């Protein structure tokens, strides 16, 4: 009877809408039930009602990173981008490559990442930690006890994943490049510089001239980049190639 009352009056739906409106992260059904004093089954029904009510609106309900939150509708992406367009909307190809390595191999050290990419990872790791896509996960019990890195809930949310289990499967023993659909658009202007070897960039030494290091995002054709990426809610699509 109580459940019917809540649905009929809409009080639970209104409360959940208000909470999701002010929340800065996705909230689980369990959390919403605790905040509203309702049963989890009642919260699930209310969320389904909200999803239906907002389906054709500029704001939509999204299930992401193990919970629910409001987000701008994909159909309104152009208008939202025109208003926002912050300088840190994009990630460079090098950042996407590093993020993919951590996502599939976590927890990993900076040395592990550099061993795969063949270039210094200091700058790109700092960027990803600042953006809260990566976080420290303790230290590896080896000589020097290097810091371990893992992905965060912000990573799941930005890439439209409910959990790490939704990452596409890969064959780490395959000799073929791995195509990863990472929904953050690449960016071709970044001040940080990473030096790459001739083998990684595909350049051929000529007349003994030394190969110059390329910036982390100074070229839209960074090693392993395959094109535009898919961004959840407000960014374009792209694929990133990771060579194990």
Fold of 2-81: Arc Repressor Mutant, subunit A (1.10.10)
> How would you class 145 by CB atoms within 10 Å of its CB: exposed for 0-12, middle for 13-18, buried for 19 or more?
exposed
Cα(39)–Cα(41) distance, integer angstroms: 5
What pLDDT shows up at residue 31? 94
Asked whether the domain spanning 93-242 has the same topology as the one spanning 2-81, the reply is: yes
Q: What is the pLDDT of residue 170?
A: 77
Q: Give the start-to-end residue ranges of the domains of the chain.
A: 2-81, 93-242
The answer to whether the CB of 218 falls within 8 A of the CB of 188 is yes
The candidate with the shortest Cα–Cα distance to 69, out of 238, 232, 231, 235, is 232
Predicted local confidence at residue 152, as pLDDT: 92
Mean pLDDT by 10 residues, the chain (244 residues): 54 93 91 93 93 91 89 86 64 90 93 92 91 91 92 85 85 58 47 44 42 39 42 42 42
pTM (2 d.p.)? 0.43
The Cβ of residue 48 has, within 10 Å, a number of other Cβ atoms equal to: 12
For residues 110 and 104, the answer to whether their CB atoms sit within 8 Å is no
- Token representation of residue 46: 């209310």
The reply to whether CATH 1.10.10.10 applies to domain 93-242 is: yes
| Burial degree of 102 (CB within 10 A; 0-12, 13-18, 19+) | buried
Cβ contact 101:117 at 8 Å: yes
Backbone angles phi, psi at 43, to 5 degrees: -65, -40
* 244 contact partners, CB below 8 Å, separation of at least 6: 116, 170, 172, 173, 174, 178
d(CA 98, CA 147): 15
pLDDT, residue 176, reads 59
List 139's β-bridge partners, or say none. Answer: 147
């Amino acid at each position: 009877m109580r459940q019917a009352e809540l649905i009929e009056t809409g009080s639970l739906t209104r409360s959940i809408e208000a909470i999701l409106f002010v929340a800065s992260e996705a909230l689980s059904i369990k959390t919403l039930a605790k905040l509203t004093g309702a049963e989890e089954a009642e919260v699930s029904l209310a969320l389904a009602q909200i999803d239906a009510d907002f389906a054709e609106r500029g704001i939509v309900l999204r299930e992401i990173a193990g919970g629910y939150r409001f987000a701008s509708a994909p159909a309104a992406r152009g208008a939202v981008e025109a208003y926002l367009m912050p300088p840190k909307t994009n990630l460079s190809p090098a950042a996407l490559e590093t993020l993919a390595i951590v996502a599939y191999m976590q927890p990993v050290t900076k040395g592990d990442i550099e061993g795969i990419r063949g270039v210094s990872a200091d700058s790109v790791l700092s960027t990803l930690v600042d953006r809260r896509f990566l976080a420290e996960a303790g230290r590896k019990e080896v000589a020097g006890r290097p810091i371990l890195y893992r992905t965060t809930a912000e990573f799941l949310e930005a890439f439209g994943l409910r959990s790490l289990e939704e990452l596409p499967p890969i064959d780490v023993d395959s000799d073929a490049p791995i195509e990863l659909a990472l929904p953050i658009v690449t960016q071709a202007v970044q001040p940080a510089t990473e030096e790459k070897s001739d083998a990684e960039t595909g350049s051929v030494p000529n007349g003994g001239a030394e190969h110059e290091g390329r910036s982390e995002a100074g070229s839209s054709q960074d090693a392993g980049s395959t094109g535009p990426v898919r961004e959840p809610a407000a960014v374009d699509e792209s694929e990133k190639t990771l060579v194990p």
